Structure 1
């Protein structure tokens, strides 16, 4: 991925759009989709995560100034920069999946006794959990969440990162007691190494991507993300719904969680759903073009490190194949420009600290709105109301300062 040492100067953001020919807005959210994500499973996740110490809904911000810049009526930004102590929506997924996995494993070893999160937190079954190890591959935020969950719920953790993962993100993972393994390769190489080592050592993989033979845990990760989506639904003005949602891609777990939850909740009345990716890491875009899961055509050398993924999650694609309306790619400078606009308070409110991967949905909207052909193709009319998810704060303060020009604490102050 591209180094943030010399970030690109903001310039014309040229988006690339592919309207999804397989999108089916009349299709019901049926049994195949509910087997992956469902409101019933969301209720279980909400009951659990909502009881964790420090849980509060993150704010939904109205960005009036940027709405005017984009030529639309409303723009809402779900700000995940204060989520628990991790500063990222990933806290809802990895840690929840660790809890679910440990609960299942302890129950299997101590049958007939219900196991709760509190039991694990206070170490009631430490003699079991201390013998278990969870592992994952990450570009930063997911690994931090898994490490945090392992520390809180009492098991061991090994996290694999690609060589380009920043020093700040590595240190943040190690701060939660995880063993860090640096893989000489990209994110997808780290995924394969983690799976291989886990199989040899008897560890449990807690990944946000799914592949053949590995489906159960990624469902839990994605279901945890729907807590954020339901919060946003409840925070919208009572008389207003978004006409569009722009969400960043990655392996697809996040957009599938947002798309699936809105699809089941609102059916045919759901917003137009746009998946946004870096031009250099476009596995979802390429999958939409081909009509089946495909690798990225790019080199994955993007500043949007959390989105530098070359392969699609199969579970995510099962929802996005018909649920996503459009796939959009943007250059890195679009994300940097969006970070700076938020930091400058260009939206009309107090400055917002947002990381380079977390602003991709917002950047996709602004890039699309700046180009008339793309604007028309997406139906971004003056009465459009858009919801985006700002999925991280400054999860690496040094990288943030290089890209924005000021440290995050100065922006927040």
Structure 2
């Protein structure tokens, strides 16, 4: 294996996990169950693979690595398909129920009974790519208009994928957090509805629905495992994925729930800094990371409630180990083990491989020969041009 992992400079911050109720109260078992019942009824639903990475587990010095590969999810290429589209339906359900004065069922929205009414409700969001694609797909399925705000560094390939699903895409000059701000501002001015994966004061229902949708992925993984993992390495971003998975694992495995390690780009480490301050902290992103889906400077307050109780470790990784990790998955010794993954998908695996070359970091994370690690491979190839450059040897 390349020395790039041995040379990687990982940063570590200890969390302050504690006995609490956030994993059951912020996201309740009922929230997860409702999302499961709806999403598994969608056309094209199928569980995504849980793949054992035996050779890479050996390289990392752990007993096993199980990788939940979200590339095939609904043909959209990422786990976000579970969140944005489900949250969109829940926003429409609440608004239609209020407008029509009667309780509207998700099944009736899904089956087109309220298509004319949905066409009058505009849904908007900011995105680095995958969340917006999910929202655009969900809106297309039920006939609702969709506006997606993207920042300057979102690739044109990802923008075009959203346009192909019928979304109006608005590109701004600023970063992700600036696009979030503009989406909120224009929604408030025009009577549109924000479907965001991050929460703020007074705005919590759609982010909760987004995270509840992600629970489908976690339940599939848990049902496929013979025993609880000892560790789960989770991508950071605003914290929605990490918080959802941590809560669902706690609800499923109870006291056997795995040790939660949050992994972020060193260029966008808002959760890492929040752990150090023991409160949500925003950071200014001065340079964009290759992991576009994780380029977030401000944590979700709702997600932080869960992570403050459940996450034991916070780690940042340099961009230098991302492309090599993508190539390792795509070019294994056994061709039948090939996994084509996007840049944000491999954050957890990159951290495990680098920690395996750093005795002190491995000890800090409690990693060793009996460790069983669960990873969320959050996306497949969502931008073919970037993937092609990585496979050609570039760091994109």
Q: TM-score range by the shorter chain?
A: over 0.9
The equivalences for 1:246-261 within 5 A come to 246-261=233-248
Q: Is the 8 A contact 1:355 1:400 kept in 2?
A: yes
User: What are the equivalent positions in structure 2 for 1:135-174 lying under 5 Å apart?
Assistant: 135-174=124-163
- 1:41 — aligned with what? 31
Which residue in 2 is equivalent to 1:270? 257
- Alpha-carbon distance in 2 for matches of 1:54, 1:286: 40
- The answer as to whether partners of 1:282 and 1:296 remain within 8 angstroms in 2 is yes
Q: 1:174-209: CA deviations, max 9, x gaps?
A: 011010100110000000000000000000000001
Show the counterpart of 1:387: 374
Who is 2:183 aligned against?
194
More displaced, 210-219 or 191-200? 210-219
Q: 1:406, CA displacement in angstroms?
A: 8.4
Q: Please tell me whether residue 95 in structure 1 is matched to residue 82 in structure 2.
A: no
Alignment of 1:57-76 (within 5 A): 57-76=47-66
Match of 1:288 among 275, 278, 288: 275
Report how many aligned residue pairs link the two structures: 391
Secondary structure of the corresponding residue to residue 73 of structure 2: coil
Unaligned runs of 5+ in 2: none
Contact kept, 8 Å, 1:300 with 1:309, in 2: the verdict is no
Q: 1:176 pairs with 165, 184, 200, which one?
A: 165
Q: Tell me the TM-score normalised to structure 2 length.
A: 0.95
CA RMSD of aligned residues (A): 1.7
Per-residue Cα deviation, 1:50-88 (whole angstroms, up to 9, x for no partner): 000000000000000000000111110000000002010
Q: Distance in 2 between matches of 1:347 and 1:320?
A: 37
Counterpart residue number, 2:357:
370
2:120 aligned with 1:131: yes
Q: 1:384 to 1:104 in 2, by over 3 A?
A: same
Kept after mapping to 2: 8 A contact 1:63/1:348: no
Distance change >3 Å, CA 212–CA 122, structure 1 → 2: same
Which residue is 1:17 aligned to?
12
Could you tell me how far 1:296 is from its partner in structure 2? 2.3
Q: CA deviation at 1:124?
A: 2.1
User: Which deviates further from its counterpart, 305-314 or 369-378?
Assistant: 369-378
Verify the 8 A CA contact 1:280 1:297 in the aligned structure 2.
no
The residue aligned with 1:6 is none
Displacement, 1:39? 1.7
> Does the CA contact (< 8 Å) of 1:259 and 1:320 recur in 2?
yes
2:76 maps to 86
Q: Distance in 1 between matches of 2:202 and 2:287?
A: 25
Residue 134 (structure 1) shift = 0.2
Q: CA deviation at 1:234?
A: 0.4
TM-score normalized by the length of structure 1 = 0.91
SS at match of 2:337: coil
